[in-house]
């Protein structure tokens, strides 16, 4: 996956695209997370949205590094049941 993201970065780096896309790609590469998760973190940063609501472990583990808070919308008791 990493090689694919690196090739994608090279291919789009010269295009006129939304800066958030480049930032999301860079976050995905740096953190070794799925591209969609990188886009989510980059979008929150770009638009100064301090809280991401997600139950995704990649988001929960990486977003705080960027000064973002993560709220899991699934109640704790339901999460415990899901883990079993």
Distance between CA 71 and CA 40 in Å, rounded? 14
Going from the C-alpha of 32 to that of each of 7, 14, 29, 68, the distances in angstroms are: 15, 23, 5, 18
Section 48-67 average pLDDT: 95
Q: What is the pLDDT averaged over residues 9-22?
A: 74
Q: What's the confidence (pLDDT) of residue 42?
A: 95
Q: According to the model, what pLDDT value does residue 66 have?
A: 97
Cα–Cα dist 28/33, whole Å:
5
Whether 39 has a pLDDT exceeding 80, the answer reads yes
Comparison of pLDDT for 36 and 19, the residue scoring more: 36
């Amino acid at each position: 996956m990493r090689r694919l993201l690196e090739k994608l970065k090279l291919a789009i780096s010269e295009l006129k695209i939304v800066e958030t896309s480049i930032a999301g790609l860079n976050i995905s590469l740096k953190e070794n997370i799925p591209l969609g998760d990188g886009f989510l973190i980059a979008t929150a940063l770009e638009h100064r949205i301090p809280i991401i609501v997600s139950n995704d472990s990649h988001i929960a583990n990486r977003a705080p590094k960027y000064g973002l808070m993560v709220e899991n919308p699934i109640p704790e008791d339901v999460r415990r049941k899901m883990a079993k």
